[in-house]
Chain A
Amino acid sequence: MTLSSCIGAVEISVFELRSILANRIGISDAVNFKPQQAAVLLNIRFPRVVLGVLIGAGLGISGAAIQGLFRNPLAEPGLIGISSGATLFAVLMIVMEVSLFKMLTGAIGFYALSLAAFTGACITTIIVYKLSMRNGKTEISTLLLSGIAINALAGAFTGLLTYMATDEQLRTITFWSLGSLGGASWETVTGILPFIIIPVVGLPFLAKPLNAMALGDSQALHMGIDILLVKRVVIVLATIAVGSSVAVTGMIGFIGLIIPHLIRMTFTSDHRLVIPASAILGAALLTLADLLARTIVAPAELPIGILTAMVGTPVFIYIIISERNKNKL
């Protein structure tokens, strides 16, 4: 995080960082920095780092929870259509700006977009879940196929909406769907904060039921777990995190897939570890990815979605291959 705060188009040394902070809190009166550096740090870089931490934690933890819910290590918000469902609803919001959006924005302000994305994410999760569940087990082929179908459908409607959009709306959509933390401000951070905090605090409590559900629905039931309730809560919490992340930063893929998998590979599949650890590792990795994204082609900036996909896809393929080899045994 310190690293992320310091490196960027405007150089700030660790010493200067400390100095700015000390000055702000009121510990020291010494001004060992340029005003420009302070402005960049406080208004651009800090919110961006914090946003990265929040989004990374949200994506990581919801990825872990969704994989637990679907009992499948390949389930990922982007892959099975949840993110595109969220995208569709968010774009719908932007295009319908005139009537509904204005009203909603008036009522709940910045949360409107998050709420719309959450609704979309929720609907697609339920559809995919219903489609792919059979005899209490997800069939991976059905799961991925329904993901493809939903992605295609949501993509088509998003395209249609883009086509209908006015020039100004188009700019908003394009800017937003690139998948970047570039729009970070303290406003976005506070806007997304509750939607990340609730799942990050809530989901670890479901780790035990999720472990039991990995054995099967009836097995979990025999252990005294209210599976219907657990499923509902997981869907709501995970989609809150995914939906609000998508609303703020566009689609950032593969974080939710790789992070839990890394933890499972290195430590254990026990959700009591996987879920909280996914939040932490997700936060760390996304901040790092964002640091790379904005320095690698400085002073320009690479959309972070491109970067995570570039790193994520090979890992994804690796997972498929190792799963295949394991099943051969």
Chain B
Amino acid sequence: MIEVKNLTYRIGKKDLLKDLSFESTPGELLAILGANGAGKSTLLKLLSKEISPTSGSIKFYGKSLHLYKLPELAKQRAVLSQQNTISISFLVSELVMMGRYPHFDQHPTPADIEIVRSVMVETGIEDLSQRDYNTLSGGEQQRVQLARVLAQIYDCKNACLFLDEPTNGLDLLYQQQIMELARRLANRGYCVICILHDINFASRFADRILMLKNGEKVAVGPPNEVINKENIYTTFRINITLMPCEGYNCPLVVPAAIQI
């Protein structure tokens, strides 16, 4: 459960986020859409307490975010960032175990080891466990990182998961797998907030979509309410055609040619 009220984040004289309010409930996958520089990543940084808001409030299960201590927060919210390159080689299993770091002191308990095993099965990387992370393909690396992040909150009931463009740079199959996993996690009762670029992915997997433009909210709501020509033109400055598609509860978005 996350409640954001009148959130503003300012650097110098520029408002990166302006008067933003929304909430996210457990069991829901909230997708954030917006053009480059719309403030999506800033929002995610604010939500994960990497930076502090200029004004406004973020409440995390009823308690103000700034009252949380970092180790406490780490036990119930995990973040998958965009940049995940590492220069020191770790084994996949070691890396996933790092997700359990907030939970044990020096040595993992049998429960931690069991959780690591389960998330590796769940993300389909159990065969990679003894491989060096740096020798994996982009898609495999992303799944390893997701497994690590998942391990961090696996045994927490009221957990939040923030994903920053999790499908970035992945091929169609991996994109699909990652989004289906995110969906399953939401169904399990997690609060999942996910920055996406693909509108069709967002409307297919998300319960609600938040659209941002220059740090301000354009719309928030279920896909078939907010995915329309006007909102998408405001958000992305592009004309679209909506095409109904069998098996989808929301029409597909096809961009029109840009008139130069």
Residues of chain B contacted by A138 (CB below 8 angstroms): 87
Interface SS, B side: mixed
In this assembly, does A275 line the interface, its C-beta being within 8 Å of a C-beta of chain B?
Answer: no
Mark interface residues in B207-233 (1 if CB within 8 Å of A CB, else 0): 000000000000000000000000000
**Nearest CB of B to A205, in Å:** 9
Q: In the bound complex, how far is the Cα of B50 from the Cα of A221, in angstroms?
A: 7
Can you report 19 residue pairs joining A to B where beta carbons are below 8 Å apart?
A: A68-B88, A138-B87, A212-B101, A215-B95, A216-B81, A216-B86, A218-B50, A221-B50, A221-B70, A222-B50, A224-B73, A224-B74, A225-B70, A264-B88, A268-B94, A269-B88, A269-B94, A270-B90, A326-B89
**Contact residues of A with B, CB < 8 Å?**
67-68, 71-73, 135, 137-138, 140, 208, 211-212, 214-216, 218-219, 221-226, 264, 268-270, 272, 326-327, 329
Instruction: Assess A216 versus B94: contact at CB under 8 Å? Given A221-B50, A223-B152.
Output: no
Chain A residue contacts of B106, Cβ below 8 A: 208, 272
A54–B85 Cα distance when bound, in Å, is 35
CA distance A225 to B89 in the complex (A): 21
Interface status of B71 (Cβ within 8 A of chain A): yes
Which one of A73, A215, A226 has the greatest number of beta carbons of chain B within 10 Å?
Answer: A215
* Interface range, B side: 35 or more
CB of B48 closer than 8 Å to a CB of A: yes
Query: Could you tell me the distance in whole angstroms from the C-beta of B85 to the nearest C-beta in chain A?
Result: 7
Whether A264 contacts B71 by the Cβ 8 Å rule is no
The chain A residue with its CB closest to the CB of B107 is A272
Q: Smallest CB–CB gap between A207 and chain B, Å?
A: 9
Q: Which chain B residues lie closer than 8 Å to A72 at the CB level?
A: 87-88
Chain A residues positioned under 8 Å from B101 (CB to CB): 208, 211-212, 223-225
> Contact check: which of B48, B72, B95 meets A222 at CB < 8 Å?
B48
Q: Are B134 and A326 in contact (CB under 8 A)?
A: yes
> Which of B69, B87, B152 has a CB less than 8 Å from the CB of A73?
B87
Q: Which of B45, B48, B91, B98 contacts A212 (CB 8 A)?
A: B98
Residue in contact with B75 in the complex, picked from A135, A224, A270, CB distance below 8 Å: A224
Whether A214 touches B71, Cβ cut-off 8 Å, given contacts A222-B78, A326-B134, is no
Q: Is B84 part of the contact surface with A, judged by Cβ < 8 Å?
A: yes
Which chain A residue shows the least CB distance to B105? A208
Please tell me which one of the listed residues B45, B88, B98 contacts residue A223 in the complex, with CB atoms under 8 A apart.
B98
Selected contact of B89 from candidates A218, A219, A223, A264, CB within 8 Å = A264
Known contacts A73-B87, A222-B79, A225-B71; 19 further A-B pairs (Cβ under 8 A): A138-B87, A211-B90, A211-B98, A215-B86, A215-B98, A216-B85, A219-B84, A222-B78, A222-B81, A223-B74, A223-B98, A224-B71, A224-B75, A225-B70, A225-B74, A225-B101, A269-B90, A269-B91, A270-B90
